[in-house]
A = this chain, B = another copy of it.
Amino acid sequence: MAVGLSRPDNIHPVNGVQLASVSAGIKNDHKPDLVLIEFEAGTVCAGVFTRNAFSAAPVTVAKKHLMQARPRALLINSGNANAGTGDQGLQDAEACCAMLASALSCSQDEVLPFSTGVIGEYLPMDKIEAAVPGLADRLAADAWLDAADAIMTTDTVAKACSSSVQIDGVEVTISGIAKGAGMIRPDMATMLAFIATDAAVSADWLQRSLESGVDVSFNRISVDGDTSTNDACMLAATGASGCRTLAGECDGSVRFQQALNEVLVQLAQAIVRDGEGATKFVTVRVESAASLDEASRVAYTVAHSPLVKTALFASDPNWGRILAAVGRAGVDDLDISAVGIYLGDVCIVSKGGRDPRYEESMGQAVMQQQELTIRIVLNRGSEQISVWTTDLSYDYVKINAEYRT
User: What residues make up the interface of A, taking CB atoms closer than 8 Å to B?
Assistant: 51-55, 81, 83-89, 118-120, 182-183, 187, 224-229, 304-307, 310-311, 313-314, 316, 318-321, 323-329, 331, 334, 336, 349, 351-354, 392-394, 396-398, 400-405
Per the bound structure, the CA–CA distance linking A372 and B115 in Å amounts to 32
Q: CB < 8 Å: which of B118, B182, B183, B229 contacts A323?
A: B229
**Closest B residue to A326 using CB positions:** B54
The CB with the most chain B CB atoms within 10 A, among A51, A83, A225, A397, is that of A397
- What separation, in Å, do the CA atoms of A208 and B306 have in the docked complex? 33
Residue of B nearest to A324 (CB): B229
Contacts of A305 in B (CB 8 A): 225-226
CA A68 to CA B387, docked complex, whole Å: 44
A84 touches B320 (CB 8 A): yes
B310 touches A401 (CB 8 A): yes
Given contacts A53-B334, A311-B403, 8 further A-B contacts (CB under 8 A): A51-B328, A54-B323, A54-B336, A86-B352, A118-B320, A306-B392, A310-B396, A316-B405
CA distance A401 to B391 in the complex (A): 10
- Whether B314 lies near A401 (C-beta < 8 A) is yes
Give CA–CA (A392, B402) in the complex, Å: 13
Contact between B310 and A119, CB atoms less than 8 A apart = no
- A402 x B306 contact (CB < 8 A): no
Least Cβ distance of A225 to chain B in Å?
7
A125 to chain B, nearest CB (A): 16
Q: Which B residues lie within 8 Å of A313 (CB)?
A: 397, 401
A318 near B54: Cβ-Cβ < 8 Å = no
What are the residues of chain B within 8 A of A327 when measuring CB–CB? Answer: 52-55, 227, 229
Task: Report the separation of the CA atoms of residues A352 and B314 in the bound assembly, to the nearest whole angstrom.
Answer: 41
Most chain B CB within 10 A, of A53, A224, A229, A307, is at A53
Complex partner residue of A404 from B228, B318, B351, CB under 8 angstroms: B318
Name 7 interchain pairs, CB-CB below 8 A, sorted by A.
A83-B320, A83-B323, A84-B319, A120-B318, A226-B305, A229-B323, A229-B327
Residue from the list B85, B393, B404 in contact with A353, Cβ < 8 A: B85
Q: Is the CB of A84 within 8 A of B354?
A: yes
Contact A401 B311 (CB under 8 A): yes
Which of A306, A321, A392, A394: most chain B CB closer than 10 A?
A306
Chain B residues within 8 Å of A311, by CB: 400-401, 403
Tell me which of B306, B331, B353 contacts A226 (CB under 8 A). Answer: B306
Closest 9 CB pairs of A and B: A119-B320, A86-B353, A54-B327, A310-B400, A314-B401, A52-B327, A53-B327, A53-B334, A227-B328
Contact of A354 among B86, B229, B324 (CB under 8 A): B86
Q: A85-B354, A392-B397 are in contact. Are A336 and B403 (CB under 8 A)?
A: no
User: What's the minimum C-beta distance from A362 to chain B, rounded to whole angstroms?
Assistant: 14
B352, A54: Cβ atoms closer than 8 Å: yes
Contact (A120, B320) CB under 8 Å given A310-B400, A401-B311: yes
Residues of B within 8 A of A397 (CB): 310, 313, 392-394, 396-397
A353 cross-chain contacts in B, Cβ below 8 A: 84-89, 120
